[in-house]
Structure 1
Amino acid sequence: MSKKINIEKLVRKNILDLKPYSSARDEFSGAEGVFLDANENPFGSWNRYPDPYQKELKNEISKIKNTSSDSLFLGNGSDEVIDLLFRVFTNPGKDQALTFTPTYGMYEVAANINDAELLQISLDENFQVSIDENLKNTLQNSGLKLVFICSPNNPTGNLIQQEAVDFILGNFSGIVVVDEAYIDFADQESWISQLEKHPNLLVMQTFSKYWGMAGLRVGMAFSNPEIISLLNKVKPPYNISSLNQEAVLKTLKNASEINKQLELILKQRELVISALTDLEMVKKIYPTDANFLLAEVDNANELYDYLVNEKVIIRNRNSVVKNCVRITIGTPEENKKLIETLQKFE
């Protein structure tokens, strides 16, 4: 049984009143005809504007994700989705968003750009959300409109426990965003399956990680059609290029090969973890459900500088989690180079 949420009451008044831009492709979306409506150059291979609502691509994604196309929004990366959520739901200088730290830095950047106060609750020693009075009281803040939960979390790599997400959904009447950029590397069902139960839930996924298309900048948001229509209302008219739509469609037809790559990444993840465990300078390797791992070392700054000098680039997360580095799982050859360089350093 889904709870009653008045989405309209959460939306900024100027967004409710907004008359969205109507492009030529909004007014006529057919595929055949003499097109003299959009001031396009009649010559060239890519002279026509793309489908502003990516209908063909959404239909294919919906089949894979077992959802309806009107429950799907495509953004110029997940970062555009994050920014649009702030634009739709937070009044500048007035409303708030909540994150659990350490986490993905773009939530804070988007909050600052949109002049929304960002509340931050620290994760516990296992990088999990503490279900306590502080959380419950924070969720009751009248100005709190958005809660961001990154699961698997970046930079820690772990899934956030389901009971914590359930608690937030059950005690908050704003928009709950579960960022699943790394969900394909985890052994857990996506929160997409819970959308009908929770009308205020929005799930973000991406083509950057599992699908290997970070350079295309295509992010997905799954939610109830009312929230999706609001995102469509405020997005730029042609936010996903024709080239990118076609490239994603082509890759979707090659899903079996992508899954083989996933299996290899997961095997390599265990190999890298095993190799790091044998190094004395590695003090702790945190559990991971992503295509990367967070490791505590003797001196993160020194190690990072050494690896950069050896042309092995990892991420120094010392400023976020003391003496920790984040290591993405690469190809077998890249991982071999990493391990040999770490052994040489030690």
Structure 2
Amino acid sequence: MPIHGLSLSKYPTKPDHFDIEQVIRPNILALHPYRCARDDYKEGILLDANENALGHSISAQSPPDDASSFDPMLDMDLHRYPDPSHDPIKQRITTLRSVPGIDHIFLGVGSDEVIDLLMRVCVTPGKEKILITPPTYGMYSVCAQVNDIGVVKCPLELSGQSGEGGTKGRFSLRVEEIKNAIDANASIKLVFLCSPGNPTGTKIPLQSIKAILDYDGFKGIVVVDEAYIDFASAGSSAVTLVKDYANICILQTLSKSFGLAAIRLGIAIAQPPLIQVLTNTKAPYNISTPTAHLALSALSPSSLATMQSKIETLIASRAALLKSLSDIAQLGLGSSIGSNDSNFVMIPVLSKDGTRPDNVRAQKVYKALAEENGVVVRFRGNEPGCEGCLRITVGSEEENSTVIRKLELVLNQF
């Protein structure tokens, strides 16, 4: 059964062992998507969607908080349902990420909506599974449980030296083990890879990703979550693989490098068949008009230049933070683990004698920083390969200085 709304000329041809119609659940393939008013006409006297023709009722005379950040939103047609497709945003993403066209782009309410939607359209509840590579982003497992989907875990390489990266270092992808897990579980439909990883901060080399894409024993889709990709070195993104592989889906977001976590805009990049299925299945107006307005502004040339400048500042600050942490290592801090390809670092808190990572001490440090010193980091010691670790987001120069000062104080207490 062909995908509704998609020309057969858009169907994939590579890799040979992949057939998207065998991945998508039959009830989703048969789905005729909800047709909303704005699908047909977007301009004119719009009397077709039961909207309030008199406009919104927010008074500019009594803004709830700060008038300086309130007025611009009142100029939008907030009484109208939003554009269901947001092609101008997609066009700017295609330019930014060198994607063939807007039919390769899907927009979601954060990456979390896309993750959930991929599971709902591909994986049959109670019967089929996903594969994840711990330590990794926790929402993969949460969404799987919500959707009654099994989870196969194939941990990343937990040995090796911190910061090595590549295909053999700590937190690298264990490709052969993943293939073995796929062979043992024919019901695996999605493989989730986080690159750079959260909480590992380590990117996955493209050759490792390609090894799974090319493996003819896997008939499903490889989902590469690139939320932190702009903090990694050039050429790290798997978007370059989309033109050749129909069995890959890239997730990106405006939350991290764009600094727009509050607007909740996630991006999926894949070949048109999968994008069409996601589009057929999503809620009719999933991206709000205020979100779309801010996203379009963030993707303008001037805003992109500002974003790139801030990324460069954060990368420099990351190096400075790591140097400052090493300067107080004698108080019981290990070297950072992972490859530091993100906007955070992972630092193990060691036992008082400095011989091993210490979860108990790390928990004490974590709580004392937050409850007594006003510095909130993230304890990650319960994740595989992350014993004793605190995850510290790279902040402003002032925030980083405060973190070091307070951390030094607390480490001297415990």
What is the TM-score of this pair, normalised by structure 1? 0.96
Report the Cα offset of residue 248 of structure 1: 0.9
Report the Cα offset of residue 131 of structure 1: 2.8
Report the Cα offset of residue 284 of structure 1: 2.5
- Determine which of 338, 351, 366 is the counterpart of 1:304: 366
CA distance in 1, matches of 2:181, 2:154: 9
Q: Is the contact made by 2:15 and 2:247 (CA closer than 8 Å) also made in structure 1? A: no
SS in 2 for 1:101: coil
- Determine which of 109, 113, 120 is the counterpart of 2:142: 109
1:319 aligns with 2:319: no
- Determine which of 3, 24, 43 is the counterpart of 2:54: 43
Q: Is the contact made by 2:333 and 2:348 (CA closer than 8 Å) also made in structure 1? A: yes
Q: Greater CA deviation, 295-304 or 77-86?
A: 295-304
Supply the AA of the counterpart residue of 1:148. F
CA distance in 1, matches of 2:182, 2:270: 20
CA distance in 2, matches of 1:131, 1:66: 28
CA distance in 1, matches of 2:270, 2:175: 25
Supply the AA of the counterpart residue of 2:49. A
- Determine which of 39, 48, 51 is the counterpart of 1:26: 39
Aligned residue pair count: 343
1:262 aligns with 2:311: yes
Report the Cα offset of residue 239 of structure 1: 0.6
Q: Is the contact made by 2:154 and 2:181 (CA closer than 8 Å) also made in structure 1? A: no
Report the Cα offset of residue 343 of structure 1: 1.9
1:100 aligns with 2:133: yes
Instruction: After the TM superposition, list the runs of 4 or more consecutive aligned residues in structure 1 that deviate by more than 6 angstroms.
Output: none
What is the aligned partner in structure 1 of residue 86 from structure 2?
Answer: 54
Report the Cα offset of residue 251 of structure 1: 1.6
Summarize deviations over 1:135-183 as a string: whole Å, max 9, x none: 2222233211000000000001011233321211111221000110000
Report the Cα offset of residue 252 of structure 1: 1.6
Unmatched runs of 5 consecutive residues or more in structure 2: 1-12, 56-76, 160-169, 351-360
Summarize deviations over 1:113-146 as a string: whole Å, max 9, x none: 11110000111120111233x3222223321100
1:131 aligns with 2:175: yes
CA RMSD of aligned residues (A): 1.2
Larger Rg: 2
What is the aligned partner in structure 2 of residue 162 from structure 1?
Answer: 206
Over the matched positions of the two proteins, sequence identity in percent amounts to: 39
SS in 2 for 1:283: coil
- Determine which of 333, 337, 342 is the counterpart of 1:282: 333
Q: Is the contact made by 1:284 and 1:297 (CA closer than 8 Å) also made in structure 2? A: no
Summarize deviations over 1:50-70 as a string: whole Å, max 9, x none: 101111111121121121100
What is the aligned partner in structure 2 of residue 333 from structure 1?
Answer: 398
| Larger strand fraction of residues | 1
1:119 aligns with 2:119: no
Unmatched runs of 5 consecutive residues or more in structure 1: none
Report the Cα offset of residue 105 of structure 1: 0.2
What is the TM-score of this pair, normalised by structure 2? 0.81
1:90 aligns with 2:133: no
